[in-house]
A and B are shown apart, each in its own frame.
Chain A
Amino acid sequence: MTTEKRNRTNLKYVAGLLGILGFLISGACTNLYAATSSRIILDVIDTQDLTITGTVISSDDGMPVPGANVILKGTTTGTTTDFDGNFAIDVPSSNSVLVFSSIGFASKEVTVGNNTTINVSLDMDVSALDEVIVVGFGTTKKETLTGAVEQISSEVFEDRAVSNVALALQGQTPGLTVNRSSSRPGNENVNLQIRGVTSINGGSPLIVIDGAPAFDDSEFFQMNPDDIESISVLKDGAASIYGSRAANGVILVTTKKGKGKMKIEFNSNTRMNFLGLKPPFPSYQEYGQLWLDTAEQDLAATGVANYWNWGEEALQGIASGQAGYYATPIVDGWGEGGFLYLAPADRYEDLYGSNIGHQQSLSLSGSSDQARYRLSMGVSESQGALKTAYDGIKQFSVRLNTDFDITERLNLATNISLQKNRTSSPSSGFGRGLVGQDAPIFPAKNSLGQWYGNFGRYSTNSIAATSEGGRDDLEENIAKISLNLKYDLGSGFSVNATGTYNHVNSRQDITQLTVPVFGWEGESYNEAVNSTSSIETVHLTNEYQTYGGFLNYETKLGKHNFKAMVGMTAELNEFKGLSAKRTDIVNEGVFDLAVASGVPTIGGAGNNNNRGQDHDGLYSYLTRLNYDYNEKYLVELVGRRDGSSRFAPGFKFNNYGSASVGWNIHKESFLENLESLSNLKLRASIGSSGNQAGIGRYDYVSTISQGTELFGEGGTLSNTASVAGITTTQRSWEVVTIKNIAIDFGLFNNKLSGTFETYERENKDMLLGRSYSALLGGDAPETNIGNLKTTGWEAMLNWKDQKGDFSYNIGVNMSDNTNELVNLEGGGGSIQAGYNQLVEGFPLNSYFVFETDGLFQSQAEVDAYNALYDKDGSSVPNGGNALRVGDTKIVDLDGDGSINAINQDNEKGQGDIKYVGDAQTHYVFGINLGAKYKGFDFTAFMQGALQQNVLRQGVSAFPFNNPWPNQTNAYNDLTWTPENTGATYPRLTAQRTLARWNWSNTDTFIQNNKYIRLKNIVIGYSLPADVLDKLNMDKIRIYVSGNDLFELSSLVDGYDPEDGNVPTVTDSNVQTSVYPFQRTVAVGVNLAF
């Protein structure tokens, strides 16, 4: 037996075992399945004169291209390259033209001439029409694509120093938005959205990795970026093939497979992270000066300077930068008898700094005639800007992709991966907003080196809390095995079956340690960060199984091409959780439940702490038909029937479908003579899919909630029980319909290409809790009564050209969408000043602000205003807070003689506030630049937005929203003073009632966030081939890359533009988004041998 044969036999055993394993996993419900095989069947004609041989290699890496098509132009005659890229083809004459093409490469035409050997180097190409696009359950040529599908190549992940692959997608394709609510690695809370929000109940795109749905977004977020071959974003009805989970679009991730001779690649980079934009927080002196400037205004306005509880002397001292004891009026509360030690304490400097991260990946890949394999490993570490304690994530991953041709007709592909993440951060100190909260006047440590309490004694000290208040450690393991068996039945038929098993477990240990704080001289006030120490351990296990079985058929009748597929998919998600908590853990360096002394409390885990276990499932039937006439007229039809365990019997199933058509106009005879037009295509689609996001697993089941109540002389707890809430069985899926019209064009041999798409999406059955009369006695369950409509557009324009050794490309894309809550059925409540999540007839997350008419410039103006509007029921401040010169003049928009967000009859939207827009980022754009010259490469990517309303909330939103915390200094010199009466912003005042009147929710305070940021820039150099040959290497490339190095922003208050808004913060005492953004510079190397 030859080695090869033995290997093949062994492979058969392995494949057989894997098959058996697959059947075991899927139990009785396993079934067969096959993927659409779109391999072009070539008619090989063997009566020719000339035989041409040669090799096809990739210009990118010089590696042979196996399976490339070599076709005699104008015929269907052709061959494919073998495993080493070699081909041999007979051609009729020396005038013959050979067309070389392969997936992912630009096709190339070569006239035979006198050559008998033709070696061709193919350029990588992502936008050519021959490009094969990964679509739901298969692939299709871009030329015959009818849906809104955008494919992103692996390039966007290369050299990017990001801890989360999703962040590299930001701005890459129009319509896909990537938001993060924090810059803390591992705690970014990345949110993906395709074409905006689909439902008030939430939902995010379905992510499918190599045909298997990801168990949740984090499986994708934590992937090794070097493993990703391409990403397809399905934006319209094309996503309908994923029916039950496709309402928010679909992201298809394809991982790299082995190809060609064995290759080892190693990539490594080291990143240096620097602090980005500094939030607008003052230094010690500036803080004092801001107070004094404010007191001066209050004095001029009322004759009484408001020094709050600081007193003038302390503020003078702070302003002059002098540390020392100051007497304050708070005799009993602060420090010792009101004597308070204050000194410069820049919390921003103390908390944040630079650090280093790294990322390495190693892969081994290759293929033989019967098998393809790729084994990869990755490791990375990323840290946030916090310097008082470790705040970061370590990621490890192993992935093995193999693919065996067991027989000529039977193929088994397996993907096995293990991802492990360790996120570790301080457990305390984040809740109070770090620098947003602490004024820069309380040193972290007292004269004895102990933690110093803010205000001389209180327990807020973010440096103490983050550095010693305990840790929050999360370890998550995602193990996944995915099997895909294909069988070619012949005559155009094939079947395939997939089975995927995901095992996810996580363990989180949250320790909270007591950190005593002291007075300046070590006085003890029994105050501490975390007055009770505790440890909580949460253990979660998820088992997620998905199955699919498909029958495919493909045929060709003359110029009529048909493809058909029927199949089913099923998935089951089982969840188990357990948590335990004990108080009184002592800091002995060992942090485990076992070393705490408090009585343990045990609970479930997860979103609802009472829940110990859960499961849910989906079951779907699907079919797809494709037809095209000579690749000119294209039609695709999709049908689905989806069932969900989350609905009551009788309401579980719903049907979805889509229809899309395409017209390759450039193929029409009347355009054939137009040389410059290489592509012109019209596409249109309509499709529906289902959404069940935000719906509990058993919401239709009425449950009993149990508790306790105390009775008896000795005080004993007795059980209580009540029906948990009002439920209904009468509800079903949200059905989301999307209509898409698009035009694609290419000019000058596709040097210039572009796409414009416009769409309308409607969620007509949005689940919504209607308002009922209170007599109902509970919140009504959500029923399918809402309607949310989104309209938007996307545009893309790319130019690429080559001049000798110099090639370059420029791409721009932009998109926008707006939504409207068409119908809320009385839900949503009254309109508030500021942020409103749900208002009928307006977009989600709308802003309503007071209209202002400048500032009062004279006391006469104030008096006239008060005479009109200072009355009962009007919110005009009076008494000690009476308006003065320099304050904001709010307009009585509804003319009811009173200033109020809501008018006196409480009619919706009829107060003195007006709609100014929503919180969404609009006109989001990306600009890609790339150039190559010999061994040098350069890419730059810029991203930005042209419009976003930002209305700050929270303690540091504007000066003196509250007097006690830190203050923003962004408005210094921009406020009204008698010397600067033309100022945009109102006078400073430390009276918070007035400050809030002047600033809160006004049209002057709302900002338009317009920005452009250099997200990424890479300069690389690859060693030339002759050097590599000497070194026996295939590739050596070194590069320098930078992330977020530069930006232009229209924000007045200096926060990071990508922090955007925090619309959900309604509590004026909490300030979020002060964790700084980092700039990153990385140096790296790519090796292949």
Chain B
Amino acid sequence: MKKLITLFSAAVFLLTSCEDKFLDLQDLDSVTEIVFFDNPQDFEDGANDFYSGLHSPKASNPGTGSGDNDGFAEISDYGTELNGYAQDFGQGVNNPTFEDSYWKNAYWYLRDINTLIQKGEEYVANGGSASEISESIATAYFFRAYHHFRLLKRFGGAPIMTVVAGLDDEVLDSPRNSRYELVTQVLADLDLAIAGLPATAVGSDLGKISSIAATAYKARVLLFEGTWEKYVGTVTDFEGSGGPTVTADAYIAQAVTAAKEVIDSGDFEIWNQNADPLMENNSYKWLFSLEGADSNPGGYTKASNNEFIIQSIFDHAANDQIRSQFTQINESRNSATQVALDMYSTLNGLPITATGNTQFMGYAKQSDQFIDRDRRMWANFGGGSAPVDGSNAILAISNVNNSNLPNQKFTTWNKYRSVREESYNYPHLRYGEILLTYAEALYERDGSISDADLDISINLIRNRAGIAPLTNALVTSNDLDMLEEIRRERTVELYMEDNNHWNDIRRWDTAVDLLSNNIIGAVIEGTEYESNIDLFDPSTAIYGFVDNYPSGVGPVRALIIDPASFRTFNHKNYLWPLPLEELVLSSSLKQNPGW
């Protein structure tokens, strides 16, 4: 018996000693965090990952998984007076939602960004060289600013996240920072980025953020916040939000400086190939689908483009293509309202509503509207099913299908790439915007702008569009308003790009007027639609007409595609409501006013 117990104890001992062989098993096919971030290349790889967070049509949604593309509502600016496709955001009838992928995604990206910054500090603390990883860390600062700024644009103030939170971390219950604190953080991070990033990103680094690109982004932030605080003021601030610490004027002045710095760098230029007769003055059009030599009539390639400052690189051969239904959804959602068509000037540089503008040919036929107009109107609405002879019918009227002028911006030429295989580089910020920012900020700062400043900014763009330059004389002699013309130029030039118009009409505080009004589909009075029931059947106009639409030929009857009675857009709609789930999970968060 004793022998037995001894034997058994020995056996048990033997067995216990090999417990580890069964229980202490390592992951055999993954790189673990413990062994990573110990050389500069790891940091560069980490920084490269942030670029998937740039908001391009190839959306990346870490917080919500695949399938929930947060980009499509944005393509059409959530439905403004320019979009034929009404959306509840633009109508002001959206309700708070349980979750919000924009809110969630921002913090998912911020966690990765803060992780890299924290790993960088550890790397240096452990004797690593700070300079070897400085560019990667500066990239992290840029993206930290980028995501905080996205939160600012959508929600106003939001909690600032600069740490990697643990599960029990108090920071998870942080109150909202005010928009003023948030913009301060954004600008501070951008300054760190500007200081640490390389001066330029060209050649094999194209697509990466350079110091001058961060400066350009800073100009955007400054103009946005400066004009928001100037025009909108504190009406959208949530309860308990502190007030501004920097004046709106100061931000505007800094915006001028930042934009001028980008202009003076000489690194960028407007892509204007109009001197080439093959281009038929359509440089603006082909810029947005610039890919291989067959992507435009002039045979230009991506290499000729020096206009994009921040861009996502796509490449057909590398099998990295946009791969979303970007183009198709664009076509219908951005089909033109009459307001969208009427904002383009005639070649003489005058708005069509300007008194004595004889260049405008009226609305009798749809094609008449395109005669002698800004080339950008042709670019955006003239291609594809271009209304050459005016015979195109207005399709049946409904919320979604109001116009036979689908949007063409970002559509490839001659179907150079088939759908979902579009591979042009996608711009997030281009030189054209910097010129517009310069002009607008300058005017906002000084209340005036010289012809010389117009010539180094806006007129470079107008030249590409084929319309006469904007001068103080043109404004004065035609009873125009300089600010309005600068804003018109911005609206036309940056149409559909990165929610520019949506952001503009909020920061200019014009959105309440524009978006609570009837949305106009087409002028009917005095046109062929009035008389030809095959082209337009009035009984299908379920929302009726306005009789005094201020058209290029004076007040006329026009078709309503979304009536004012459906639209309740007001100041509360300038900001999105915080997702309800977050208010439940974090009691210290305050909802935006009105929600």
Contact = CB atoms under 8 A, between A and B. Distances in A.
Does B bind A? yes
Interface of A: 28-29, 31-32, 489, 491, 493, 495, 549, 551, 568, 570-572, 604, 610-619, 643-645, 649, 652, 697-698, 701-704, 706-707, 709-724, 726, 728, 771-778, 780, 826, 829-830, 872-873, 879-880, 902, 904, 906
Contacts of B205: 711-712
Task: Return the 6 tightest CB-CB contacts between A and B, nearest first.
Answer: A777-B111, A715-B315, A617-B22, A720-B49, A721-B45, A702-B33
A723 B112 contact: yes
B406 to A, nearest CB: 15
A29 B159 CA distance: 56
Contacts of B22: 570-572, 617-619, 643, 645
A826 to B, nearest CB: 7
B48 A720 contact: yes
A714 B203 CA distance: 8
Contact of B314 (A645, A710, A726, A873): A710
A704 B32 contact: yes
B98 A773 contact: no
Contacts of A31: 11, 14-15
Given A703-B31, A715-B320, A721 B171 contact: no
Nearest to A618: B22
Contacts of A568: 12, 15
Contacts of A29: 14-15, 18, 21
A776 B63 contact: no
A551 B93 CA distance: 74
Contacts of A613: 28-29
B203 A712 contact: yes
Interface residues of B, number: 80
Contacts of A780: 167
Contacts of A551: 8
Nearest to B19: A619
B585 A773 contact: yes
Contacts of A619: 19, 22-23
A715 B167 contact: no
B206 interface: yes
A723 B27 contact: no
Interface in B26-50: 26-34, 36, 42, 44-46, 48-49
B204 A712 contact: yes
Given A722-B46, A723-B112, A774-B579, 16 more contacts: A29-B18, A572-B21, A645-B24, A702-B34, A706-B45, A711-B206, A715-B314, A715-B320, A726-B167, A774-B63, A774-B104, A776-B165, A777-B111, A777-B112, A777-B164, A880-B398
Contacts of B48: 709, 711, 718-721
Contacts of B27: 697-698, 701, 703
A774 B107 contact: yes
A717 B32 CA distance: 23
B547 interface: no
A966 to B, nearest CB: 26
Contacts of B51: 709, 711, 720
A713 B95 contact: no
Interface of B: 1, 4, 8, 11-12, 14-15, 18-19, 21-34, 36, 42, 44-46, 48-49, 51-52, 63, 93, 95-96, 98, 103-104, 107-112, 114-115, 159, 161, 164-165, 167, 171-174, 202-208, 302-303, 313-315, 317-318, 320, 398, 542, 579-582, 584-586
Contacts of B1: 491
A715 B98 contact: no
20 contacts: A29-B14, A29-B15, A570-B19, A570-B22, A618-B23, A643-B19, A701-B30, A702-B33, A703-B32, A709-B49, A710-B314, A712-B205, A720-B52, A721-B46, A722-B112, A728-B167, A773-B586, A777-B111, A777-B112, A777-B114
Contacts of B580: 906
B317 A773 contact: no
Residue among A610, A612, A721 with most chain B CB within 10 A: A721
Contact of A711 (B42, B103, B204, B542): B204
Residue among A495, A706, A774 with most chain B CB within 10 A: A774
Contact of A570 (B15, B25, B98): B15
A826 B45 CA distance: 36
B203 A776 contact: no
A771 B98 CA distance: 13
B293 to A, nearest CB: 15
B28 A614 contact: yes
A826 B586 CA distance: 12
Given A619-B22, A774-B107, A777-B111, A611 B29 contact: yes
A717 B4 contact: no
Nearest to A611: B29
A704 B30 contact: yes
Contacts of B171: 775
A32 B111 contact: no
B547 to A, nearest CB: 24
Contacts of B25: 615-617, 645, 697
B110 A777 contact: yes
Contacts of A879: 542
Contact of A698 (B30, B34, B542, B584): B30
Given A572-B22, A604-B29, A645-B23, A775 B174 contact: yes
B19 A614 contact: no
A780 to B, nearest CB: 6
Contacts of B207: 710-712
A182 B281 CA distance: 62
B21 A701 contact: no
Contacts of B206: 711-713
A704 B314 CA distance: 25
Contact of A704 (B23, B31, B174, B315): B31
B289 to A, nearest CB: 16
A709 B108 CA distance: 18
A759 to B, nearest CB: 32
Contacts of A698: 26-27, 30
Contacts of A722: 46, 49, 112, 115
B313 A710 contact: yes
A501 to B, nearest CB: 15
Contact of A713 (B107, B110, B302): B302
B511 to A, nearest CB: 19
A610 B585 contact: no
A712 B579 CA distance: 38
A775 B303 contact: no
A615 B21 CA distance: 11
Contacts of B36: 704, 721
A604 B104 CA distance: 31
Nearest to B202: A713
A714 B301 CA distance: 11
A181 to B, nearest CB: 23
A652 B22 CA distance: 11
A726 B111 CA distance: 10
Contacts of B95: 873, 904
A612 B30 CA distance: 9
Contacts of A701: 27, 30, 32
Contact of B52 (A617, A709, A778, A830): A709
Contacts of A715: 313-315, 317-318, 320
B49 A776 contact: no
Nearest to B585: A773
Nearest to B11: A31
Contact of B173 (A615, A616, A773): A773
B18 A723 contact: no
A649 B203 CA distance: 49
Contacts of A710: 207, 313-315, 318, 320
B24 to A, nearest CB: 7
A644 B93 CA distance: 53
B23 A774 contact: no
Nearest to B35: A704
Contacts of B24: 645, 649
Contact of A702 (B32, B93, B98, B204): B32
